[in-house]
Amino acid sequence: MENKECSIIISDFLDYLSGIKGASEKTIKEYRIDLIGFFNFIIKKRMNLKIRHQEMDLETLKKVSISDMYAYVRYIDKERLNAHNARARKISSLRTFYTYLTDKIKVIDKNIASELETPKIPKRNPIYLDLEESKKVLSTLEPDKKFYTRDYCIISMFLNCALRLSELVSINIEDIDWVNNSLSIIGKGNKERIIYLNEMVLNSIKNYLKDRNKYRIKESFKNALFISSVGQRISNRAVEEMVKKHVKNSSIDKKITPHKLRHTSATLMFKYGKVDIRTLQKVLGHENISTTQIYTHVDDEGIKNAFNSNPLNL
């Protein structure tokens, strides 16, 4: 869906997020869906207007009250049955949208969305692979398969470099600095960071590149590092399915996604590499350190060791 299919207000906001804030396509899509849903609720459920969401104008938007917003939150909870995370995201979308309207383009006097409270999200034990499981996934890849070196390289990079899925699929060959053994990554917010490649990753890339040259790569994708079976840059979906397949083949009973492999990498760095949280924040490309803290969970073994390491434990 293009921005032109939205109201002018939403379209301008999405252009601001993309052009000024450097938001990703995925983020833009989420904001679009959230705001169209909100507009439809206001039009149909609260104001009973005979217009489409594309026709929502500024004067109508100015009539939205905090009571309307509370009704919307109740609607997505009780009628749409949105989970905590989905409700929190939609409220965040409204806050950002109204901040744009009040502080950036100054077309509305009061940011009523700032009064909305974000629902508390229940804490769950994070899913990730431990060290032995990580080794097992890599060891169960079959060398005689056509895409063995590519898949091994991708999983190795997830487990060693803590990359986001979007970051991995967008890597170009020219992003690799063979002199400094590093990789230039463009992450969230269009921000660049440098990833240093260890020997395992360097070897896996070199082995893959030997096979990559045998692929029938389409001309427009010659610079893409990871190539699909049809000669194009590999897609997010293809990587997700590949990871799912290899984890299943390793008989590990966990729902592991590329993001969970990123989580695994951060956990292994923190647990075995003695990496402090500030360094880990830079490695992961987090703007807020509170986001990084999610990756620094301590397992039962760590808790037990903490008690046993008390200096009074003589």
Catalytic residue set:
164, 188, 259, 262, 286, 295
Centre a 10 Å sphere on the Cβ of residue 168 and count the other Cβ atoms it contains: 21
Q: How far apart are CA 208 and CA 204, in angstroms?
A: 6
- Residue 183 near residue 195, CB atoms below 8 Å: yes
Which one-letter amino acid corresponds to residue 106?
Answer: K
Tokens of 6: 């939205």
Report the distance separating Cα 74 and Cα 94, nearest Å. Answer: 14
Give the CA distances from residue 263 to residues 85, 221, 227, 251, 270, in Å, rounded to whole numbers and listed in that order. 18, 29, 24, 20, 11
Three-state secondary-structure class, residue 184? strand
DSSP state of 226: S
Cα 137–26–77 angle (5° rounding)? Answer: 95
Strands 192-196 and 182-186: antiparallel
Measured between alpha carbons, how far is residue 272 from residues 12, 73, 264, 269, 296 in Å?
A: 47, 43, 12, 6, 12
109 by Cβ neighbours in 10 Å (0-12 / 13-18 / 19+) ranks as exposed
Lookup: tokens for 204: 């896996």
Candidates 289, 175, 168; CA nearest to 240 is 168
Over the range 231-247, which residues count as b (16 or more CB within 10 Å of their CB) and which as e?
Answer: eebbeeebbeebbeebb
